[in-house]
Structures are given as C-alpha cells and as structure tokens.
C-alpha cells in the first residue's frame, strides 16, 4: 500500500511528554518512520525512558515491524534538548578552541552513550558548518570554528564518536549555514556563493564526514541562486542530486531540516513543500512542530504518487533503502533497563569529560579507555 511506503519517509514531532491516542494511531496506521523529540517531550529520565519504550513498541503493530527512528537535537551548548541530570555539554566552539580530536571523539561518544541508553538512536549532530560570517548568531558557537581545516579535523572525530556509541550521526546543515545572517526559522536566507567557493570551504567538512562513514545528512533551507536559482537547498534537485550525491559522492540517507520553518512556508504550501522535497531526492521529510502538517503532507504525497509528479517506483526504492538502513543500524531499538540507563547519565566520567571541554584542562588519563589516540 503506497500510504505505508510514503509513511516510512516521514519523521514527526509529538505534542507533549506522552504520546496521545491520535498521535499513536497516526504513526501506526500510516507506518510513520520515526519521531523527533524536543524539550516539551522530556520532563525527567523516568518519563523519557517510558516515552521511548512506548514509541518503539509501536513497531510490533506496524506492517514492516521496523524500528522507528527516535531523533533529537543534542549538539552541546544552547542546542541541547536533554537537561540535568543528563550531562550538560559545552558548545562545539570549545571543542575547536582546545583543538584535540581525541577529546572531540570522547565527547561525542559519551553524549551518544546517554542517548543510546534511553533508546534515542539518532542525533541531529554534529553541526559541521564553518563560521565564515562572525555576525552569524544563528550558528555562532554551534560551529567548531572559522577555519574550515579545523572543522574538517573535528567533524571526523565527532562523527566517529557517535558511531562508536551506536547512535546514528546526522551532519548539518548542507551545504553550509555558516555564512548566513538570517535565521531560516523566520525567513529564507539567500547566499550568493558559487559552487567553486562551496567546494573550497563549506563542503570540505561534509566530505570528511562522508569519508568517516556518517550515516545521515540534513539539508538546509538556504537559497543559493548561483547553484539553483529556483529552489532552496532542501528542495533542490540540483543541490541534492548533482552536488551532494554527485560531487560529494554521498550514499547515506538525506533528511530535510524541519519543513515547518518559515524559510519554506512563507514561499510554498505544505503540500507543495512535501512533494518537491521528495521529488528533489530527500529520503526523509522532517516535521517538528505543526501538528496538522504531516497528515496534509501525507495526503498530498499519496495523491502525487497516484497522479504524478512523484514516481511510485522511486518511492518504493527509497522505502526499501530506509528499511534496510534500520535493519543494519538499529540493532537494539529498545532502551536499556531503567536502572542501567540511570548509571550511564550519572557517570562521573562523563562529567569529567564535560569539565575538560569547558575548562580546557585535562590529562591523558581521561582517555585511558578510549580507542582513539591523542
């Protein structure tokens, strides 16, 4: 049934700390691929553990029995959905200031271990944007730094740390959000950088991440008129097929940034956004905050697959790719037993790693159990 095929291409937000009956029915009946968690969904560790356990239980009632993606934004610094007693991590700028890739790897591995313990299998991180515009407060200290070589070096370590913790890493925001002034939550940024400049600077950390086996890449809502004058990157077949798949040779999953952002909704309808996003080559469409949007999008996509312009066969190819990815990457979907999960987030070692990043003061002893060399 095409609705189940399309549903696997969607990730949706939840309204609160528990799944409503309506949300549960929508996920199960439409074979939705996953959910994304925000601060509104996380009150305390016990509640989060119960929520993730319930979300993964839905797979037993769905046609494919495939685990759901449970994603979250945990970058460190101001973009961190999980608060105390989870470890509080400094922003990536601190990583760049210290410039020790082993510490970067260890940070990412520890952060990922806490997510994995609670059944969160996807982190929308690391942010590998190069901060080429110092007035860019949207990215700011979310970036490792202003030198692309520095970002390249640490992008690899950050990706490998998440992989080591059995959490899917998702680099963002392709092809780079570091030069913008506008916030794509509120308006559409326009960047007059050509492909030569992007290849020289912005794309370098992404290419390094791809060589480091990152498993997912998030598209930005930024218009690059010199690359594609018609569509922002997230809706651009040129940016996805020619630049990301072609020039960068990326073979993993591609996900949009939140399709409810005003960068897109000020320009297009919910239905137009969904159809163009899949047509352009995204594997997964992300809906974070607008409750009615996923249903409207799903209806539009079903209609577009029946009557054009979406190719039903290509949708099914993407569907099988997502299912195989989940089979390969999400081996243990359910959270750890709660008492074991609590031990992970209350780890003294994690606190020491966080303090080392915050202060820049640490010794080799901190890495004694790490497989990475300093």
Q: Catalytic residues, which ones? A: 185, 257
What is the DSSP code (8-state) at residue 190? B
β-pairing, 34-37 with 10-13?
Answer: parallel
Rounded distance between C-alpha atoms, residue 366 and residue 345, angstroms:
17
How many residues does this entry show for the chain?
Answer: 374
Q: How many other CB atoms sit within 10 Å of the CB of residue 298?
A: 22
Rounded distance between C-alpha atoms, residue 25 and residue 264, angstroms:
28
Q: What are the C-alpha distances in Å from 9 to residues 96, 160, 186, 331?
A: 35, 26, 25, 20
Burial (CB count within 10 angstroms: exposed 0-12, middle 13-18, buried 19+), residue 340: exposed
Instruction: Evaluate whether 55 touches 33 at the Cβ level (below 8 Å).
Output: no
Instruction: Evaluate whether 125 touches 158 at the Cβ level (below 8 Å).
Output: yes
**Distance between alpha carbon 63 and the CA centroid of its chain, in Å?**
25
Task: List strand residue ranges (DSSP E) for 220-319, in order.
Answer: 253-256, 285-287
Q: Is 13 helix (H, G, I), strand (E, B) or coil?
A: strand
Instruction: Evaluate whether 218 touches 124 at the Cβ level (below 8 Å).
Output: yes
Containing H/E element for 28? helix 21-29
Q: What are the C-alpha distances in Å from 126 to residues 19, 22, 29, 158, 374?
A: 28, 33, 33, 7, 20
First to last CA, the chain: 52
């Amino acid at each position: 049934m095409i609705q189940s095929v399309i549903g696997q291409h969607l990730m949706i937000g939840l309204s609160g700390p528990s799944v409503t009956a309506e949300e549960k029915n929508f996920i199960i009946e439409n074979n939705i691929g996953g959910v994304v968690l925000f601060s509104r969904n996380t009150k305390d560790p016990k509640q989060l553990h119960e929520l993730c356990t319930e979300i993964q239980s839905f797979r037993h009632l769905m046609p494919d029995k495939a685990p759901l993606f449970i994603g979250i934004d945990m970058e460190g610094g101001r973009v961190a959905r999980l608060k105390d007693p989870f470890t509080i991590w400094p922003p990536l700028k601190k990583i760049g200031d210290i410039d020790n890739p082993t510490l970067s790897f260890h940070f990412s591995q520890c952060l990922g271990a806490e997510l994995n313990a609670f059944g969160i299998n996807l982190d929308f991180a690391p942010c590998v944007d190069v901060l080429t515009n110092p007035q860019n407060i949207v990215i700011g200290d979310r970036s490792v730094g202003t030198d692309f070589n520095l970002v390249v070096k640490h992008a690899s370590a950050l990706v490998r740390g998440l992989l080591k913790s059995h959490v899917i890493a998702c680099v963002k925001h392709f092809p780079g959000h570091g030069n913008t002034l506008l916030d794509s939550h509120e308006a559409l940024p326009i960047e007059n950088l050509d492909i030569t400049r992007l290849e020289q600077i912005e794309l370098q950390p992404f290419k390094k991440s791809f060589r480091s086996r990152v498993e997912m890449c998030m598209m930005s809502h930024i218009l690059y008129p010199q690359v594609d004058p018609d569509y922002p990157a997230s809706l651009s077949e040129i940016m996805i097929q020619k630049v990301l798949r072609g020039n960068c040779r990326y073979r993993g999953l591609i996900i949009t940034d939140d399709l409810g952002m005003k960068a897109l909704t000020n320009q297009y309808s919910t239905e137009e956004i969904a159809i163009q996003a899949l047509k352009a080559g995204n594997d997964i469409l992300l809906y974070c905050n607008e409750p009615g949007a996923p249903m409207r999008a799903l209806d539009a996509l079903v209609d577009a697959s029946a009557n054009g312009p979406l190719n039903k066969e290509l949708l099914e190819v993407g569907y099988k790719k997502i299912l195989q990815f989940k089979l390969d990457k999400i081996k243990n979907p359910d959270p750890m037993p709660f008492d074991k999960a609590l031990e992970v987030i209350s780890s003294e070692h994690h606190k020491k790693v966080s303090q080392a990043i915050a202060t820049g003061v640490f010794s080799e002893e901190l890495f004694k159990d790490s497989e990475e060399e300093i």
